[in-house]
Amino acid sequence: MSQLQLIDAACQIEQAQAVLSMWLESTTKDTDPDLPRLIGSIITLLHGVPEAMEEAESKLADYVMREYRDGKACATFTIWCAVLMVK
């Protein structure tokens, strides 16, 4: 299984939200009446998730940098720091 960066996962959720919104808009009166409700439910469940993921990534980066700056960094933190700086 390949690793997915947190920011990339947040982008994929935003893309899924866009697809679901378009799907919801394309429903017609001939559509199963439960379909718009189900699509809307999924959109509601995903609401705020990308923002929370971006905030988590930011806090993780801050934590790693703080640990590194305070000299508490082990090899893992050094690697994380390098990865986050590349972004």
Tens digits of residue pLDDT in 27-75: 998 999 999 999 999 999 999 999 999 998 888 888 888 877 777 656 5
Q: What is the pTM of this model?
A: 0.69
Give residue 73's identity as a one-letter amino acid code. Answer: A
Task: Supply the pLDDT for residue 81.
Answer: 60
34 lies in a domain?
Answer: yes
Structural domain boundaries enclosing 14: 6-86
1 lies in a domain?
Answer: no
| Choice between 81 and 43, residue whose per-residue pLDDT is larger | 43
Into how many domains does the chain fold? 1
38 lies in a domain?
Answer: yes
50 lies in a domain?
Answer: yes
Task: Supply the pLDDT for residue 84.
Answer: 58
Predicted confidence (pLDDT) at residue 87 exceeds the cutoff of 60: no
Predicted confidence (pLDDT) at residue 3 exceeds the cutoff of 80: no
60 lies in a domain?
Answer: yes
Give me the long-range contacts of 48-55 (CB less than 8 A, separation at least 24): 49/10, 49/13, 50/10, 50/11, 50/13, 50/14, 50/17, 51/10, 53/6, 53/7, 53/9, 53/10, 53/13, 54/6, 54/7, 54/10
